[in-house]
A and B are shown apart, each in its own frame.
Chain A
Amino acid sequence: MKSETGLAGPPRPIASPSSQVNGTPPPAAGESPRIRQGPVAAVTELWGARELTANLVRRDLKVRHRGSFLGMLWSLATPLLIVALYWFIFTFIFKQSPVVDVARADGQKPIFAIYFFAGLTIWNFFSTSVGASTGSVTGAGYLLNKVYFPRAILPLSTVLSSLVTFAFEGAVLLAAAVISLGVPSVYLLWTPLIVGIAALLAFGFALLLSAVTVFLRDVAHFVGVFMQLWFWGTPVLYSLQFVAGRPGLVRLLKLNPATGLVVSFRNVAVLDHPPALRLLAYDAGFAVVMLVIGAWAFGRWQRMFSEIV
């Protein structure tokens, strides 16, 4: 009898099973049969499956909004309500803005609601990508057993469908910014890069978490709670300057890869400032490391998905 213990879930490839139900000598240990895929081959395969990925994204979005009267608008209603809620709390209850020492390039103080909405859209893109990805492989069990496709398109499609939602929110944000603040500065052109880094970072996490969830379902719950904490650990609702008096905290916040994304996106979208380049560079590095870890883990464990899910 062989048993597996430990939290890391994914069991090792069988080297020498000690018991054989049907009494067969096990294949010699040591030789790994796995068809190992290099990174180039993996990316080529993903690219080859782009139509299927697009169909899965389309399915995600359609299924999420089918049957509801407002459809896509609901994905806008939620962040707008949250913005309204916090605006109400900080304007009428606390009577103190968490956004301090922040000025637009033209010297004006930013409107809290728009400032917050900008941070919230990019944060929501990242957090829903990561949060929804945990179940992306386990939820596709019925497919894993019936057809072959590069398994990585499952977490990828959750990231991409969050990206579509983000595009809607971003359009509304842009409209609101233009109406209340005027035409944004040329720094807005940084947006694709910032969103690209956010997407890479989210995909790295998504790869790792979706694979681990297959072996340990707890991860989905854990991630749900953790994303709440992460929200407060990211300057979405407040400005980085709000905690400037506590350098230790600032340093901690700057270690959070989401900080640079939120700050930079806010800068270019509503403050007419350049992005926080040093933080952004750190985020890009973090995203690459995360992507390597995620791809490694996913690639290593994916062969067991169809048997376990």
Chain B
Amino acid sequence: MPETAISCSGVWKSYRMYHQRAHTLKEKVLSGGNRYDHFWALRGVDLEVPAGSTMGIIGANGSGKSTLLKVMARILEPNRGSLEVHGSVSPLLELGTGFHPELTGRENVFLAGSLLGQTRRDVASRYDEIVDFAGIAAFMDVPVKNYSSGMYARLAFSVAISVDPEILIVDEVLSVGDAGFQLRCHERIGRLRAEGRTIVMVSHSIDTIRALCTRACWIDEGVVREHGVPRDVIASYQDQVRTDSAEDGHRRAVAHAGTGPAPEAAAAEITDVAFCAGDGTAAVTFHTGDAFVIRLHYRCDAAVGDLVCGIAVYRSGDLVHVFGQNTGQAEVPLPPAEDGIVEFRVDRLPLLAGLYLLTVALHDSTGVKVYDWREQEYSFLVSENLALPAGDGLVHVDGHWTQAPAPVRS
């Protein structure tokens, strides 16, 4: 497999903004043709998407993100510049691409699958899974025009997340589903990422980019402003957003934009963060009730007197602070002035299904000297544990229901 999955060099793309569009001969003759201006949506984009990476594209509305996705998916052809794509591409730009109302659910699954670049055999092998997830097995031989909008969305969604391409191109649309859809979608992307597929996604949700992407790219007015590690790119982007606007609506973005207190000249730093299952193997997805380990590798200079390592877990989306603790609070002293590994081990993970973000930090015991602070830079997924009774909320509380003897009616 080549090292670069998609490579854009000097891509320019313009749209015609028609003031007047002649569709018929009469209109053409009478009006003297079409009148339009050019709008340059992309103005010389150079971008390489390394194979196996998950690239998040961020930027304001109208900055050219979706155009870039469409160019990468070969739906639009650039006016200038070149595009190289290595591998099969499935674009997910909307739910239910290619669904035909007159065809049955089954027929649409195969039609849509082939439009998304899947072979008939691929779709057939995943058919049961698709129907299972959509939960409408009884309606697969009914034309989709007779579906409720919910059924339609479920089927469209299960087709979308069943694709298994070498390169997946995902637009915002997939994040409009309800929380359950989104979680499934994140899980799917997590799994594809673990399998080494290349993913390019556009999202307005900085949390999603931060949580799922290994690289980020900030597009502004049709040019790449910055690309690289999500943390840095997001920070620059949010700086820009802050500068651009002091409106109330941006307070939240500002509040979460910081990367924490400025680190001291790296006397100690976190070198690696991994999530592991109970047996110590790395994992991305866990189930409620599983054993769960956060393993931190750090480097520490001899000059560091005392060292405290802290973690904080947030729920993606509303950023509820679920839990946080540091080695100081837990009274676990870390030997200073040497590199090490520290683990935070949970025997039974109480978190319910969802995407969670993790902040990790190294500082001194007073919290004044900060050596390293990675704000919500890591993420893990929790899936529903079918062995446990269903429940709502944030955490699983290990209670149980019993019936007390009924009071005697007088």
Chain A nearest CB from B259 CB (Å) reads 32
Q: Does B344 contact A (CB under 8 A)?
A: no
Chain B nearest CB from A215 CB (Å) reads 9
A218-B24 CB under 8 A given contacts A4-B33, A147-B91: yes
CB–CB A51/B119 < 8 A? yes
Number of A-B residue pairs, CB cutoff 8 Å, is 138
CB–CB A147/B97 < 8 A? yes
Chain A residues near B70: list those with CB within 8 A.
145, 306
Alpha-carbon separation in the docked complex, A137 to B206 (Å): 38
Using a Cβ–Cβ cut-off of 8 Å, how many residues does chain A contribute to the interface with B? 48
From B103-111, B238-246, B261-269, B296-304, the one touching the partner chain is B103-111
Q: Does B342 contact A (CB under 8 A)?
A: no
A20-B40 CB under 8 A given contacts A3-B33, A143-B115, A307-B76: yes
Alpha-carbon separation in the docked complex, A303 to B15 (Å): 12
Q: Does B78 contact A (CB under 8 A)?
A: yes
Chain A residues near B119: list those with CB within 8 A.
51
From A26-34, A112-120, A185-193, the one touching the partner chain is A26-34
Chain A residues near B111: list those with CB within 8 A.
55-56, 58-59
- Which residues between 1 and 58 of chain A lie within 8 Å of chain B, taking CB atoms? 1-7, 9, 11, 13-14, 17, 19-22, 24, 26-28, 31, 33-35, 51-52, 55-56, 58
Chain B residues near A216: list those with CB within 8 A.
23-25, 28
Alpha-carbon separation in the docked complex, A17 to B12 (Å): 13
A303-B77 CB under 8 A given contacts A17-B14, A19-B38, A146-B97: yes
**Per-residue A-contact encoding for B8-37, CB less than 8 Å = 1, 0 else:** 000010111100000111101000111111
CB–CB A59/B32 < 8 A? no
The residue of chain B having its C-beta at the shortest distance from the C-beta of A145 within the complex is B75
Alpha-carbon separation in the docked complex, A3 to B39 (Å): 15
**Per-residue A-contact encoding for B105-136, CB less than 8 Å = 1, 0 else:** 00100110011110110000000000000000
Chain A residues near B44: list those with CB within 8 A.
27
Q: Does B348 contact A (CB under 8 A)?
A: no
Chain B residues near A21: list those with CB within 8 A.
17, 37-40
Known pairs A28-B80, A142-B98 / 7 extra A-B pairs, C-beta < 8 Å: A2-B38, A19-B38, A21-B37, A34-B77, A62-B107, A66-B102, A148-B73
The 6 closest A-B pairs by CB, nearest first: A5-B33, A303-B77, A148-B74, A27-B80, A33-B80, A218-B25
Q: Which residues of B contact A (CB under 8 A)?
A: 12, 14-17, 23-26, 28, 32-40, 43-44, 70, 73-83, 89, 91, 93-94, 97-98, 100, 102-103, 107, 110-111, 114-117, 119-120, 143, 221-222
